[in-house]
Amino acid sequence: MRRLLESYRALPTGAQVRLAKRTSNLFRTRSRTAARGLDTSGLTGVIHVDPAGRTADVAGMCTYEDLVATTLRHGLAPLVVPQLKTITLGGAVTGLGIESTSFRNGLPHESVLEMDILTGAGEVVTASPGEHADLYRAFPNSYGTLGYAVRLRIELETVEPFVALTHLRFHAIEDLIAAMDRIVTTHRLDDLPVDYLDGVVFSADESYLCVGTQTSAPGPVGDYTGRRIYYRSIQHGNLTKADRLTIHDYLWRWDTDWFWCSVAFGAQHPLVRRLWPRRYLRSATYGRLMRVERRFDISDRLEKLHGRPARERVIQDIEVPIARCVEFVEWFLGNVPIAPMWLCPLRLRSGDAWPLYPLHPRETYVNVGFWSTVPIGATEGETNRLIERKVSELDGHKSLYSDAYYTRDDFDRLYGGAEYRSVKTRYDPDARLLELYQKAVQRR
């Protein structure tokens, strides 16, 4: 923390504050900046694990890869582990995260007991439900515009060494969502307890629920860290199919191929797969390749060379109430040429809403993730704008890690504008940090 504070104090008076970091899991188009960032080199590890109390104190820039490696040694895991290894704990809390435990454990910020936050005013305050509670509750979905998490104390849960998977095929989206709703309500599939739940939509008549149950029973396990591809293993001709993974490999099952997006780099071609070093089969590699592609506009140049229009990035995660999910998925399949899609149900753990991402307590939502490109339209962000309107029509929200096109009024209505400004004024009175609308929408 000392180096972090020293780097803050070394900034010129009134200079904009930002973190100095080489990687990011944000997918917004951002202007390059020469501004010096804060030194986060001392904020990358697990500080302490309390196995008896099932808690961990973690530095804000610690990746989930390092966090999970530490907690699994104690037979423990964070309550929600986002899908990509390079996501940091601080990033998942200030920018939201989700995974297949979210139907029972909510979102990552809900398991935070307290956190030390470096505010825009240069002070480190400890925020919890009882102390600096306004900052504690507004921090999720603030994307570093209210401050940076330096230390977080989080809850952990006990995990077994293996996960037994059952993949259920559906021929209609409405049947899949109905089955998902039943499992969210009961936490069971027939007589089987359910610990993990997500799904994949390949088309209107081919979709799957992936149901996971923790187990200590020994036996053979699958391996999707090399030539075998996890999402392809879900597809099959029968109505059900079983699989087993170690808990470690289950938590990172999507990272090897960045869900299915590694196909854009040829990593799923059998010959390329055979030659591609296993250590580079991971989302961090594809992220670096994507940043190079965007820097030099390689894809658009190739499209132009073939006489085709440039393409619009549609990289989004949205949440809609489960009662509206069938409507959204069927609309999406009919209007946006992107598949597969990821589905992940969630319910808030607590009875209170979080002001900057105001989902209703005691209501089930479904996260729908889709990540690809479409031919560019007549206006900037045409397809993304179309999706934003549909999501709002269905009483949903979308995550702000990627491009957004909301008007200021719509943004304030959806993302707690009044509450945000009150907390912003208190903890960043001189506006040393970017404002949320400026960061999420305007900086393109």
Of 381, 365, 397, 244, give the one whose Cα is nearest residue 310.
381
Q: Which pLDDT tens digit goes with each residue over 390-442?
A: 999 999 999 999 999 999 999 999 999 999 999 999 999 999 999 999 999 99
**Integer Cα distance of 342 and 330 in angstroms:** 14
Q: What is the pLDDT of residue 257?
A: 97
**Integer Cα distance of 366 and 321 in angstroms:** 6
The percent of residues in the chain predicted with pLDDT above 90, rounded, is 82
Q: What is the pLDDT of residue 205?
A: 96
Q: Which pLDDT tens digit goes with each residue over 317-338?
A: 999 999 999 999 999 999 999 9
Cis peptide before 340, with omega less than 30 degrees from 0? yes
Q: Is the pTM of this model over 0.75?
A: yes
Q: Give the pLDDT band (50/70/90) at residue 34.
A: very low
Q: Which phi and psi (to 5°) does residue 278 adopt?
A: -60, -35
Q: Where are the domains of the chain?
A: 2-159+421-442, 162-253
Q: What is the pLDDT of residue 27?
A: 67
Q: Residue written as tokens 């009875």?
A: 351
**Integer Cα distance of 279 and 281 in angstroms:** 6
Q: Collapsing DSSP states into helix, strand and coil, what is residue 158? A: strand
**Side-chain half-sphere CA neighbours of 151 within 13 A:** 16
**Integer Cα distance of 283 and 64 in angstroms:** 13
Of 442, 358, 170, give the one whose Cα is nearest residue 181.
170
Q: Which pLDDT tens digit goes with each residue over 238-273?
A: 566 779 999 999 999 999 999 999 999 999 999 999
Q: Which pLDDT tens digit goes with each residue over 66-105?
A: 999 999 999 999 999 999 999 999 999 999 999 999 999 9
**Integer Cα distance of 269 and 72 in angstroms:** 33
User: The domain 2-159+421-442: what is its CATH number?
Assistant: 3.30.465.10
Q: What is the pLDDT of residue 356?
A: 97
Q: Report strand pairing: 38-39 vs 19-20.
A: parallel
pLDDT at 114 exceeding the cut of 60: yes
